[in-house]
Amino acid sequence: MKPPPFAYHDPRSLEEALQLVAQYGAEGKILAGGQSLMPMLNSRLLAPSALIDINPIGELDYIREVDGELRLGALTRQRRIERAAPVRSRVPLLAEATRLIGHLPIRSRGTIGGSLAHAASTAEYPAALVTLGGQVVARGVRAERLIAAEDFFVTHLTTSLRPEEILSEVRFPIPPAGSGWAFEEFNRRYGDFALAGVAALLVGEGRRCRRARLTAIAVGPTPIRLKAAEAILEQGRIDEASFEEAAVRASEAVDPGSDLHATAEYRRHLTRLLTVRALRRAAARMKG
């Protein structure tokens, strides 16, 4: 199929793009990497009045370390994030999440801002943002807002971005030295959407867990913080018994639906299994 007709704009600055977004509001759509938007247009699932192509705006493509955070412009390509030394060394969970996204051609065009704004329930970047306690910068013509990860995702394919705003920057706090991390997911074939996934971050003090963050994907309409499982880890030792108990709590905390790919029961089982795997790998990285 072909997309419905729309006006096309290719602004050369963020200010120009913001003026267009304010003009069209909900009738305009931002084109970044286009890996989700273009298939939806071609399938006529969307029929915007205008497409605002922000690819010419070079000021939205960067990776910087500022005040204990890694800050990425919304237009930064996923392939660049995957290969960037500052990402691999300072926020390695983000690099690991990136490697799980689709296939190489998708990562070569897809952007971090586009993925987060699309807010698919199976996507890896939303889970990484929630697990790391990150924030996004939402820019409008007159003001900007800093939105915490857990306030950003509303439901499947829906965020708290306003129609007149553009997601301009993503901020990830740099985890403490010696932290352990892992991202585990299960899919039928490499590159398919995950049937379930779990991101983990552990900050230890000897054999004790000082801070734990666990987030599940593909088992609800948004990334799900597994807070009951985190509490088990923070109250106990970093050992197999704690991992198993936390995994049971994780499976109890999710309420996935059934579809032609997997039943709800199977997704809960995967959540338990992937939580254990993620915690084992995160703990091993702490030791290493």
Q: Which domains are seen in the chain, by residue range?
A: 7-53 (3.30.43.10), 58-173 (3.30.465.10), 180-287 (3.30.390.50)
Question: What tokens does 204 get?
Answer: 């230890």
Determine the number of helices (DSSP H) and then strands (DSSP E) in the chain: 12, 14
Question: Distance of alpha carbon 44 from its chain centroid, rounded?
Answer: 26
219 neighbors 261 (Cβ within 8 angstroms): no
Task: Give the DSSP H or E segment for 181.
Answer: strand 180-186
100 neighbors 110 (Cβ within 8 angstroms): no
First to last CA, the chain: 51
pLDDT in tens, 72-86: 999 999 999 999 999
pTM over 0.85: yes
pLDDT in tens, 91-143: 999 999 999 999 999 999 999 999 999 999 999 999 999 999 999 999 999 99
Residue among 202, 197, 137 nearest 172 (CA): 137
Band of residue 207 on the pLDDT scale cut at 50, 70, 90: confident
pLDDT in tens, 216-244: 999 999 999 999 999 999 998 999 999 99
Band of residue 145 on the pLDDT scale cut at 50, 70, 90: very high
